[in-house]
Amino acid sequence: MRRMILAGLALALAACSPNASEAGAQSTQGSAAVHPISGLPVVPLRIHRGGKVLTFRVELARTPQEQAKGLMFRTAMGPDEGMIFPFDPPRGASFWMRNTVIPLDLIFIAPDGRISNIAANAIPYDESPLSSTGAAKAVLELNGGRAAQLGIVPGDKVEW
């Protein structure tokens, strides 16, 4: 029993450590992962690239307020992390990089779940619109250059 209490305390202290990655997800509500900075749910996301499946853990920005804030003011994000912005119903989407510190790849997902287009390496703080080609059911943001690094291209299938 004493070991279980000590182990629990050690885990709690590690989660509160100032050295913990700002981009890491912590489980704070049962089995639901919640991001420690945004407070958004963290969900698994898969991109089917040919016969390969790429797996990410992404923050889910559902409300207009969550989507408006997005990744503004964030200074780091893990290589297999991101943020997904779902739209119901699908619509034309246009994003900008206002108050966004890190370069991002914006991956526009068509209503059929396939990537329609990618705005690669969006420039931090740039307020030029970055738009979908046609209706989007979601936009996925990854670290800038990550899509090219992993070979992600239009036509790849995205599931979350």
| CATH number of the domain enclosing 104 | 2.60.120.1140
Domain presence at residue 129:
yes
Are the CB atoms for 21 and 76 separated by under 8 Å? yes
Identify the CA nearest to 128 among candidates 98, 83, 107: 98
Is 5 within the bounds of a domain?
no
Domain with 137, as residue range(s), is 25-159
Total number of domains constituting the chain: 1
Q: Which pLDDT band, with edges at 50, 70 and 90, does 31 fall under?
A: low
Query: Where is 68: in which H helix or E strand?
Result: helix 64-69
The answer to whether position 17 is within a domain reads no
User: Residue 54 — pLDDT band, cuts 50, 70, 90?
Assistant: very high
Helices (H), the chain: 2-16, 64-69, 146-150
3 domain-assigned: no
- As a whole number of Å, the CA-based R_g of the chain is 17
Q: What is the structure's pLDDT at 50?
A: 87
**% of the chain residues with pLDDT over 70:** 80
